[in-house]
């Protein structure tokens, strides 16, 4: 349960749903991005850990929020046909993320203990590549004792 379990479930779903892509749960190194016949990449990363808004319990709460980003590297679309392919891939990635949320939070190990919110999907131009980034927020109780999950 927790963010590590969700990332494992998310990675498994992306590997199954987007065949031909290398899916890695790590930050890419500068200059490492590629999107061609020999390499198709998806990276799962996290951002800063935060407390949910509106919690006023004198610091008794151990609930945290962890932004999880799924980034799919693609060639920049130069034709209308390419733009359709890119949009289709972005939609496929969103569906895979939604399936991972359902599988983990509703029917899996995180059921009842972990909430995941699909924040947004945003395309970006990074190192001359078109990178579609899906942001999910994982919220759960990080126990103050024991191993982090």
DSSP 56: -
Tell me, yes or no, whether 147 lies in a domain.
Answer: no
- pLDDT of residue 148 exceeding 70: no
Q: In this structure, is residue 115 part of a structural domain? A: yes
pLDDT score, position 110:
80
Q: What is the CATH number of the domain that holds 127?
A: 3.30.70
- CA torsion 69-72-78-82 (nearest 10°) is -120
Q: Strand 129-141 and strand 22-24: pairing?
A: unpaired
Question: Would you say residue 146 has pLDDT above 70?
Answer: no
| Residue 148 covered by a domain | no
Question: How many distinct structural domains can be found in the chain?
Answer: 1
CA gap 109, 6 in Å, rounded? 9
In a domain, 44, yes or no: yes
- The pLDDT tens digits for 29-77 are 888 888 877 778 999 999 998 877 665 555 566 788 999 999 999 999 9
Spatial distance between the Cα atoms of 19 and 21, rounded to a whole number of angstroms: 6
Judge whether 99 lies within some domain.
Answer: yes
31-40, 87-96, 120-129: range with lowest mean pLDDT: 31-40
Domain span at residue 93 reads 3-49+61-141
Does a structural domain hold residue 76? yes
What's the whole-model pTM score? 0.88
């Amino acid at each position: 349960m927790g963010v590590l379990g969700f990332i494992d479930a998310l990675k498994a779903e992306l590997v199954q749903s987007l065949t031909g892509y290398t899916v890695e749960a790590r930050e890419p190194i500068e200059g490492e991005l590629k999107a061609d016949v020999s390499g198709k990449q998806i990276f799962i990363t996290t951002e800063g850990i935060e407390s949910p808004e509106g919690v006023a319990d004198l610091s008794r709460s151990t609930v945290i929020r962890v932004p999880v980003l799924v980034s799919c590297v693609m060639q920049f679309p130069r034709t209308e046909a390419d733009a359709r392919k890119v949009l289709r891939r972005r939609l496929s990635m969103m569906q895979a993320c939604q399936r991972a949320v359902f599988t983990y939070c509703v029917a899996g190990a995180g059921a009842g203990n972990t909430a995941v919110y699909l924040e947004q999907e945003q395309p970006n131009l990074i190192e001359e590549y078109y990178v579609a980034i899906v942001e999910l927020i994982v919220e759960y109780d990080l126990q103050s004792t024991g191993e982090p999950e």
